[in-house]
Amino acid sequence: MKTKFLFLFALFVVQLNAQNFQTFRSDVKALYENSEGIIEKSLGIDSVKFINGDSILYPGKNFREVKAYCYTPYGSSWIGEKIIIKKNGFNLFLNKNHDTISIKTNAVLNESWKLYVADDSSYFLATVTAFDTLSFLSVNDSVKTIRIKVYDKNSALVGSYSKLLLSKNYGLINPWNFYYFNQDPYAHNEEEGYVLSGMQNLTWKQVHDYVVGDELHIVEWSESLSIPCLDQSTRKCIKKILSRQDIGDTVLYTIEESYLLKSKKSFCLINDSSLIHFKDTVTFKVFDGTCFDRLPEEAIGDSFSRYEMKMKENNGLRGMAGILAPVKITPAPNEQFSINVDSCLKSLIYDGCENTATYIKGLGGPYFDQSFNCGFGSDGNRLLVYYKKGSEEWGKPLDMTIGVSEIRASVDLTIYPNPSSENIFIKTAETNLPYQLQITDVDGKTVCWETVNTAIWPGFRSQQARGMYFYKVTTAQGLTAFGKIILQ
């Protein structure tokens, strides 16, 4: 496993003496990855108390199972309910049953102590086996290696436990899940703990961190079955950043968006396909401090549901200057929670439909690849296929050119009022009657399909959801017209 380290703040200004090691520090928010490289643990100290020369650190609250299939977002941290920093050099942690795990931070080479004593008098013996000077983030740092051996109540050796690495500047590099220590065999991997990660928390503003001239090329594909019809749609989109304004905690972007939408309806009484190509300019506001900015295992959401986000390095796309861009992952259904009538958070029933999505630093999101049936016969993806950021390019640019075979003669129409918060009407000449009218939403789903026999179509109903829609008109002579409708 790779070992990476992180300061989320500046290096400590307090001069530490030779014996002043500490497992965690109150002014650092740390992130930890598992053996698969997923950032799934975080640690931040909410408050500190000082009692008789000892410091008591209270970590932030995490999801915790309080009884069978019942969770709370206000449970103890995975590192324990509190960390007691004693003036004699011991740092104490409490597991689920309030048993004590002791780490002697000022222990010297070859010194041993009992790290944990079980109810049956068996115990874990800790020994400092190495004291090295290593370099992390170009800073020379002192690191103690603490080996753990397990003895039974008769002091007979019965096994060994994973080692702990204690850094003077960074604290515990590979902490265990102390809350479940010696309680849950599935909560701790005896070969290794969580490893301090070198990635900072990915925020919403970092995901949407663009400069003028940046481009994102995105392809979306979807397929859904509504018996007997099969609806398929593909949408290509090119986003170009035209301007950026930083106003306090808000960033305002002006973005040129070019779309090419293709839809196809098969196995129906009337099969059809359509092609729409248009360009628009939009404004996009990015705010600071959204729920997206929460750390792994922190509760986010509203009063009806709460869930957690994880992070990882993105091994497919590279960020600016060739640096791997961090990714944030929205939770799968089995990582989401819903509040029941008894105020108990319960895990949602997982139906095998994986709907996780990723957000990438400086490259937006969500991106997902749902390559199998989900719900009632539908699947799709949204993929970033090309980007340009400054002098860096990745992927293959989209071709938005419409082929000659896809261009047909058009029919004159009048769409009014458009945009509108009321009904929208379509007017055409009597010579164009009858014509076939199809209206689709931005996802390519058909919301209106009918044959029109009057010069003025009665109107697109205002009870439809607000947003953008696309219309297609096809006359008996083969003339076509395309465009967009906006309901405000």
- Does 115 fall in a domain? yes
Residues 6 or more apart from 102 whose CB is under 8 A from it? 90, 91, 92, 113, 114, 115, 116
Which pLDDT value is given to residue 327? 76
**In this structure, what token pair is assigned to residue 443?**
């996802």
Give the CATH number, domain containing residue 424.
Answer: 2.60.40.1930
**In this structure, what token pair is assigned to residue 93?**
């942690």
Same domain, 227 and 144: no
Residue-wise pLDDT for 86-133, tens only, equals 999 999 999 989 999 999 999 999 999 999 999 899 999 999 999 998
Give the separation between CA 128 and CA 103, rounded to whole angstroms.
11
Which pLDDT value is given to residue 152? 93
Instruction: Provide Rg for the chain, Cα atoms.
Output: 30
Last residue of a domain, one of 196, 231, 248: 196
DSSP state of 77: B
Domain count, the chain: 3
- Does 18 fall in a domain? no
Quick count: other Cβ atoms within 10 Å of Cβ 357?
A: 15
What is the separation, in whole angstroms, between the first and last Cα of the chain? 52
Residues 6 or more apart from 44 whose CB is under 8 A from it? 29, 30, 59, 60, 295
Same domain, 389 and 449: no
**Strands of the 480-487 sheet, one edge to the other:** 446-452, 435-441, 467-475, 480-487
Same domain, 110 and 233: no
**In this structure, what token pair is assigned to residue 65?**
């199972």
> Among 28-32, 301-305, 350-354, 404-408, which is the least confidently predicted range?
404-408
Last residue of a domain, one of 196, 230, 245: 196
Same domain, 169 and 65: yes
Which pLDDT value is given to residue 70? 77
- Does 4 fall in a domain? no
Biggest alpha carbon–alpha carbon distance for the chain: 101
Same domain, 363 and 308: yes
| Average pLDDT, rounded, for the chain | 77
Residue-wise pLDDT for 352-381, tens only, equals 555 677 888 899 988 877 644 454 445 678
How many residues are present in the chain? 488
Give the separation between CA 110 and CA 143, rounded to whole angstroms.
14
Which pLDDT value is given to residue 462? 59
**In this structure, what token pair is assigned to residue 28?**
């650092």
Mean pLDDT of 62-91: 85
Which pLDDT value is given to residue 379? 65
Same domain, 96 and 150: yes
Residue with tokens 């792994």: 296
Which pLDDT value is given to residue 448? 83
Nearest of 389, 356, 380, 342 to residue 213 by alpha carbon:
389
Q: 3-state SS of the chain: helix, strand, coil percent to 5?
A: 5, 55, 40
DSSP state of 170: T
Phi/psi of residue 403, each to 5°? Answer: -65, 155
Phi/psi of residue 159, each to 5°? Answer: 165, 180
Predicted confidence band at 415 (pLDDT cuts at 50, 70, 90)?
A: confident
Show contacts of 392-399: CB within 8 Å, 24+ apart: 392/318, 392/320, 392/321, 392/322, 394/317, 394/318, 395/217, 397/217, 398/217, 398/219, 398/236, 398/238, 398/260
> Among 33-47, 171-185, 340-354, which is the least confidently predicted range?
340-354
Checking if the pLDDT of 404 tops 50, the result is no
DSSP state of 420: B
**In this structure, what token pair is assigned to residue 170?**
């960074």
Give the separation between CA 74 and CA 161, rounded to whole angstroms.
30
Which pLDDT value is given to residue 368? 79
- Does 19 fall in a domain? no
Which pLDDT value is given to residue 349? 57
Same domain, 57 and 114: yes
Same domain, 366 and 306: yes
Whole-number percent of the chain with pLDDT over 90? 26
Q: 212 in helix, strand or coil?
A: coil
Q: 395 in helix, strand or coil?
A: strand
Predicted confidence band at 44 (pLDDT cuts at 50, 70, 90)?
A: confident
Give the separation between CA 393 and CA 241, rounded to whole angstroms.
15
Q: What is the dihedral of CA 280, 220, 375, 302, to 10 degrees?
A: -50
Mean pLDDT of 392-407: 72
The kind and range of the H/E element at 204 are helix 204-207
- Does 429 fall in a domain? yes
Checking if the pLDDT of 149 tops 80, the result is yes
The kind and range of the H/E element at 387 are strand 378-389
Q: 349: domain range?
A: 204-395
Give the separation between CA 445 and CA 466, rounded to whole angstroms.
15
Evaluate whether 279 touches 256 at the Cβ level (below 8 Å).
yes
Q: 203 in helix, strand or coil?
A: coil
Same domain, 316 and 453: no
Quick count: other Cβ atoms within 10 Å of Cβ 188?
A: 20
Which pLDDT value is given to residue 228? 63
pTM, whole model, 2 decimals? 0.67
DSSP state of 108: P
Same domain, 118 and 172: yes
Same domain, 414 and 442: yes
Strands (E), 2-37: 30-33
- Does 20 fall in a domain? no
- Does 87 fall in a domain? yes
**In this structure, what token pair is assigned to residue 108?**
């010297």
DSSP state of 362: T
- Does 462 fall in a domain? yes
- DSSP string covering 173-188, please? SS---GGGTTT-TTS-
Same domain, 174 and 222: no
Residues 6 or more apart from 406 whose CB is under 8 A from it? 275
Last residue of a domain, one of 395, 417, 450: 395
Name the most confidently modeled range: 85-99, 132-146, 282-296, 450-464. Answer: 85-99
